[in-house]
Chains A and B, each alone.
Chain A
Amino acid sequence: MGKQLEVKSLTVGFRSGREVHNAVSNVTYYLNRGETLCIVGESGCGKSVSVSSILRLLPESSTVISGEILFGGIDLLQAEEKTLDQIRGDKISMIFQEPMTSLNPSMTIGRQLIESVNAHERVPKEKALDLCKRMLTEVGIHDAERCMNAYPHEFSGGMRQRVMIAMAMICKPEILIADEPTTALDVTVQAQILSLMRKLKNEYGTSIIFITHDMGVVAEMADDVIVMYAGEIVEKSSVTELFTNPKHPYTKGLLASLPHIGEKQNRLYSIEGTVPSLANMPAGCRFKQRCKEKCDACNVHPDLYKSGEGYVRCVLYSRGDDL
């Protein structure tokens, strides 16, 4: 095991008129080889933006990115387009939430799959076809032959997501970034896709960055978890630690607000208020307005403090392990 990908003090801002609003501020994390790292948070907390910048998928004209993203000794943020093209899809690939918008509706599945093979390797057509069919079978599509000649609209959501996974895995990437891959799917289909991803991870040894807002999915998939709030990491820890001993008031609130099956709950806990807007970030702790445990010290912006094996961005833990 070792660090496969390191993100160091990544800040991503969006230009809006003359101002720049930071959607992600000072985010640092790393991904261990063969592990699954889950990033959780609500919409607008910067989780998608932080991973899109790994492959530099954000429009350069309207974003301001600083920091470092190290992969195999290269800083992806400084790398040239040519180097990036070799990495995208081959070493690091990505699947998105809505498979219909990421597949080309006017091309057959087969052509799209072969395209992604040819982008990185020069292989004879026969071999490429064979590889594609094998991959489709691998992701649980039984009739691979027919699927190759079909168009995306002929498939259900779950099947399309399988095709997306096949396309992402076809070059056997070292890292797979999955941005809410199951959010648009039914629970039973979600269970199929999650078990498929676990299987592929074990078979190919791929490391996964998994973005989700569903704590249940986190519990099922993750080795390590990052909780994001308003563009910042508020808690980082192993999955067991996060669920048995959550530290940040936001994490505690999130977990407490979930309905549990089989438990009598008269009322659900709810975090008061709403997420502050990017343009109007409060000074000091960004969660303080909604926090039940706030104090005067919250007016100063807290660092990520080490607590136990994890990290928490909350002054309550500023004195370290003794709390």
Chain B
Amino acid sequence: MKGCPEYVLQTFGVKKYFDASRTFFRQAKQVRAVDGVDICVRHNETVGLVGESGCGKSTIARLVLKLKRVTEGKIFFEGEDITFLKKDELREIRKDMQVVFQDPYSSLNGRQSIYTIVSAPLYRFKIGTAKEKEEITKEVLDRVGLRPSDMFKYPHQLSGGQRQRVAIARAIILHPKFVVCDEPVSALDVSVRSQVLNLMKDLQDVFKMSYLFISHDLSTVYYLCDRVYVMYLGRIVEEGSKEEIFSNPLHPYTKILLSAIPQPVVGRKKDILLLAGENPSPIDIPSGCRFRTRCPFADETCMSCDPVLMEVGMDHKVACLKIKK
């Protein structure tokens, strides 16, 4: 199998199973956190990955960054198979692949100055002389809207928004081609959130990066992304262009997810679809369609047949048995 160089990132049937602890009464079972996921990200594109907590979206982030080993499947980066690369082979690729985490309070080392944090990649890859390193760091701090004097501060002296800017500066200092953003604005206040979102958009225009934007907030996904993947219990249930997903959602889960977003508009019709029941555990995934236990349209066929993603239109795929071509 070969990857396509047109894409920055491609995954084929990626699975990640974790071993659940075995007890005296229970056989060892597996948590099927990610259960066969195909994702592709084009150059200079922002791809959104949405789903509720526990659906496996952060696990995917860790898999494509090679922070965790896949159980099964293949990952291609710019057409190159990186699934089983060794540590030192990975190093070169890590230059082009960066990450911004959700919580800027725990993703920055509190005992390092902002300069040390942001310039760390330069030291790692031995780029430039000491003076050049300082210049590059200053430039990147300026780019993300921090003052050069902030260089000598420590994370606790900065606000949440500023810290997230530091995390972004560290991610983009080597001009990567691909950045995974794992809920980068969820921990921020509304007024700061829009500042950071705008910054991410501007940086993409300048550096021509691709983002894999993981979020549970569908309105930010709508603002930032070009294409969207909707995930439920370890699987992609619907994928497509932003316009398709938001204006013509087909999978019942996507419909419910969209109707659940509280919109800042008064007098909206209150025809909210409520999701029945609780999220099933990824240890005991229902037979057949994994959404059937909570789906308002499920019937007997859904119990036995596991739907696969099917093309239903231009750049639009759905995994639901009820949807015909």
Contact = CB atoms under 8 A, between A and B. Distances in A.
Given A187-B257, A188-B256, A243 B265 contact: yes
B262 A268 contact: no
A253 B223 CA distance: 17
A312 interface: no
A261 B52 contact: no
A259 B278 contact: no
Interface in B16-54: 52-53
Interface stretch (A89-97, A212-220, A296-304): A212-220
Contact of A259 (B195, B222, B279): B222
Nearest to B192: A274
A255 B194 CA distance: 11
B67 interface: no
A244 B266 CA distance: 8
Interface stretch (A16-24, A122-130, A169-177, A191-199): A191-199
A156 interface: yes
B197 A259 contact: yes
B284 to A, nearest CB: 14
Contacts of A189: 52, 275
Q: Majority SS of interface residues in chain A? A: helix
B218 A258 contact: no
A253 B191 contact: yes
B266 A194 contact: no
B267 interface: yes
Nearest to B197: A268
A188 B266 contact: no
Interface string B204-219: 0000000000001111
Nearest to B201: A267
B219 A258 contact: yes
Nearest to B53: A186
A259 B219 contact: yes
Contact of A216 (B201, B220, B261, B270): B261
A159 B279 CA distance: 11
A286 B188 CA distance: 21
Contact of B262 (A157, A217, A267): A217
A274 B163 CA distance: 13
Contact of B194 (A190, A257, A261): A257
A260 interface: yes
Interface string A28-67: 0000000000000011000000000000000000000000
Contacts of B197: 259, 268
Nearest to B199: A270
B159 interface: yes
Nearest to A221: B262
Interface residues of A, number: 43
B264 A261 contact: no
B275 A188 contact: yes
B189 A43 contact: yes
Interface string B142-160: 0000000000000000010
Given A213-B190, A268-B194, A261 B261 contact: yes
Contacts, number: 122
A182 to B, nearest CB: 9
A213 B191 CA distance: 10
Contacts of B270: 220
A219 B266 contact: yes
Contacts of A83: none
B283 interface: no
A220 B265 CA distance: 8
Nearest to A258: B264
B237 to A, nearest CB: 14
Interface in B255-287: 256-268, 270, 272, 274-275, 278-279
A239 interface: yes
Given A156-B278, A260-B219, A270-B198, A254 B261 contact: no
A305 B216 CA distance: 39
Contact of A190 (B198, B223, B247, B260): B260
Nearest to B243: A262
A267 B263 contact: no
Contacts of A269: 194
Contacts of A219: 262-266, 268
A265 B261 CA distance: 18
Interface centre among A189, A216, A240, A259 (most CB of B within 10 A): A259
Given A254-B191, A262-B247, A215 B198 contact: no
Given A43-B189, A213-B190, A254-B190, A188 B260 contact: yes
A219 B268 CA distance: 9
Nearest to A255: B264
B295 to A, nearest CB: 13
A231 interface: no
B121 interface: no
B267 A274 contact: no
A156 B266 contact: no
Contacts of A213: 189-190
Contacts of A257: 190-191, 193-194
Interface string B221-248: 0110000000000000000000000110
7 contacts: A42-B192, A158-B278, A187-B218, A187-B261, A188-B260, A268-B223, A270-B198
- 3 shortest A-B CB distances, which residue pairs? A216-B262, A259-B223, A257-B194
Interface of B: 52-53, 159, 161-162, 189-195, 197-198, 201, 216-220, 222-223, 246-247, 256-268, 270, 272, 274-275, 278-279
Given A192-B274, A261-B261, A274-B161, 8 more contacts: A187-B52, A187-B216, A191-B275, A216-B262, A220-B270, A257-B190, A261-B258, A262-B246
Interface of A: 42-43, 156-159, 186-192, 194-195, 213-220, 239-240, 243-244, 253-255, 257-262, 265, 267-271, 274
